[in-house]
Amino acid sequence: MLTFTAQGEYPMAFPGECPLRLLFVQFSIEHRVTPSFHDYPELSLVCGGKGRFTVDRCVYEARPGDVLLVGSREFHRMEADQKSGLQVASIHFRPELIHAPGDARLGFQYLEPFYYRGHRFAHRIAGDRLPQGFVLERIRRLHEEIQAGRPDYPLAVRTYMADILFEVSRYYRSLGGKLLPTTKRAQEFDRLLEVFSFIRKNCHDHLSLPALAKMAHMSPSYFCRFFKATTGDTPTHYVLRLRVDLSADLLSNSAMSMTDIAYACGFSSHSYFDRVFKRLKGMTPLEFRRRLKV
């Protein structure tokens, strides 16, 4: 039995003997609107509901049966349809589960879709492009092995994960075309790490674009272009998303007034806070607070 629960953002810790985590997530309006990233691959299966899946600047419809891929350091977010919600089985894993550095290249072929981006590449594989029910069945077996925790469960997990990755990599090979490495983009991404940390800690304050660009050792114009290419948002819009997430936490977990929350989160006025929140969450802050109490 697969149980889906609301799952907030938290640092991922992997078991030492088997670096894989399997999460069953029920996405709804309570989830964060700020895109996130991590330094390991992620593969998800849409199990129910409808929504949107965004990676960098690419937006995909998410429907049951779809398989969604996220590579290391790719900004992404999942948004549920407000009426149906969105149920997702999400596999987070370290590459060395499948292929350790120095091993034969054969093993790396399982991971190629996470590290190369050809011209015909898409982060979404429609459910009818893979064997029917195959990925869900393998995920069920993964879940059973992890729950049972037998001495050989790491081998079973690796085997079932390799099965999934084989079908995924075969699909991408069937598209043809030249695979393009993402090495240069990953190197440039490192220049933004300090910026992301600074913005998260100071999103409620005024943030100077020239100062952020200087922190990344870029000109302001190049910084804006690269930031949007990396996150899918302009620096200004990214900050607004963080402020909305911060305000949603306060709406859920405090008795502060709407005006106090607006100013605490860096909005210049209550009315501006209302407009931005509604644009990103689909409802006003007051409606959001009331819905949580139902």
Domain range list for the chain: 20-174, 183-293
69 within 8 A of 113, measured Cβ to Cβ: yes
- Please state, in angstroms and as integers, the Cα–Cα distance from residue 260 to each residue in 164, 246, 256, following that order: 49, 13, 6
Topology, domain 183-293: Arc Repressor Mutant, subunit A (1.10.10)
Residue 58 CB coordination number (10 Å): 14
Q: Which two tokens stand for residue 231?
A: 């996150």
Q: Which residues contact 128 (CB under 8 A, 6 or more apart)?
A: 65
| % the chain with pLDDT above 90 | 65
CA–CA gap between residue 117 and residue 122 (Å, rounded): 8
Assigned architecture for domain 20-174: Sandwich (2.60)
261 within 8 A of 273, measured Cβ to Cβ: yes
pLDDT on residue 3: 52
- Please state, in angstroms and as integers, the Cα–Cα distance from residue 128 to each residue in 16, 63, 170, 174, following that order: 35, 11, 14, 15
| String of DSSP letters for 200-261 | HHHTTS---HHHHHHHTTS-HHHHHHHHHHHHSS-HHHHHHHHHHHHHHHHHHH----HHHH
Burial class (CB in 10 A: 0-12, 13-18, 19+), 38: middle
pLDDT on residue 195: 93
Phi then psi dihedrals of residue 90, to 5 deg: -120, 125
66 within 8 A of 89, measured Cβ to Cβ: no
Q: pLDDT tens, 162-174?
A: 999 999 999 998 9
Half-sphere exposure of residue 135: CA atoms within 13 angstroms, side-chain side: 26
- List the pLDDT tens digit at each of the 294 positions of the chain: 545 444 444 457 899 999 999 999 888 877 888 888 888 999 999 999 999 999 878 899 999 999 999 998 888 999 888 777 899 999 999 999 999 877 878 889 999 999 888 778 899 999 999 999 999 999 999 999 999 999 999 999 999 999 999 999 999 989 876 666 776 667 778 888 899 999 999 999 999 999 999 999 999 999 999 898 888 899 999 999 999 999 999 999 999 999 999 999 999 999 999 999 999 998 999 999 988 765
pLDDT on residue 40: 92
- Please state, in angstroms and as integers, the Cα–Cα distance from residue 250 to each residue in 235, 275, 291, following that order: 23, 17, 14
If you search the block for the tokens 């409620």, which residue do you land on? Answer: 204
DSSP state of 67: E
The mean of the pLDDT values for the chain is 89
Q: Which two tokens stand for residue 281?
A: 């969450």
- Please state, in angstroms and as integers, the Cα–Cα distance from residue 141 to each residue in 133, 144, 160, 163, following that order: 13, 5, 7, 11
Beta strands in the chain (DSSP E): 20-27, 42-49, 51-55, 58-62, 67-70, 76-80, 86-93, 124-125
Residue 134 CB coordination number (10 Å): 13
Q: pLDDT tens, 196-243?
A: 999 999 999 999 999 999 999 999 999 999 898 888 899 999 999 999
- Please state, in angstroms and as integers, the Cα–Cα distance from residue 15 to each residue in 40, 46, 149, 193, following that order: 14, 25, 12, 26
pLDDT on residue 85: 84
